[in-house]
Amino acid sequence: MPDTAFGYLILGIGILVVLGVVFAISSRAGAAGGRPTPPRGVHLPAPSYLPVVMSVGMALLGSGLVFRAEEQLANPFLAIPGLLVLVLGIVAWIRAANHEWHDTERGSHDDAAAH
């Protein structure tokens, strides 16, 4: 097995282990006593998929930096899509946070009656 294929195998197994641990922890926390609610007046952001998107972009970018030819800075087939996904995820998250900030200032978020 070539070194590159072995590296991809280790990376894939590592990703699966981390996802399994996160799933096990989140499943156990949900069964402990229902979904907790924040105290009155505390506003929490809505759930988002964007941290996962940025993690995938960082993993691709890191893989591009690791799995490269000797004379290259990075593998362009992994690093360029990883950089694009990472930057687009950051921009989308900033836009979502900005949108929520403006909604909160206008008092149009979900628990406006509680304030």
DSSP conformational letter for 55: H
For residue 36, the model assigns a pLDDT of 64
For residue 30, the model assigns a pLDDT of 55
Each residue's pLDDT, cut to its tens digit, for the chain (115 residues) gives 677 788 888 888 888 898 888 888 777 655 556 666 666 666 667 778 888 999 999 999 999 988 888 888 888 999 999 999 999 999 998 888 888 777 777 765 555 455 4
Q: Are 107 and 115 in contact (CB under 8 A)?
A: yes
3-class state of residue 86 by DSSP:
helix
Domain ranges of the chain: 1-29, 49-107
C-alpha torsion angle, residues 92, 96, 98, 102 (rounded to 10):
150
For residue 82, the model assigns a pLDDT of 92
For residue 11, the model assigns a pLDDT of 84
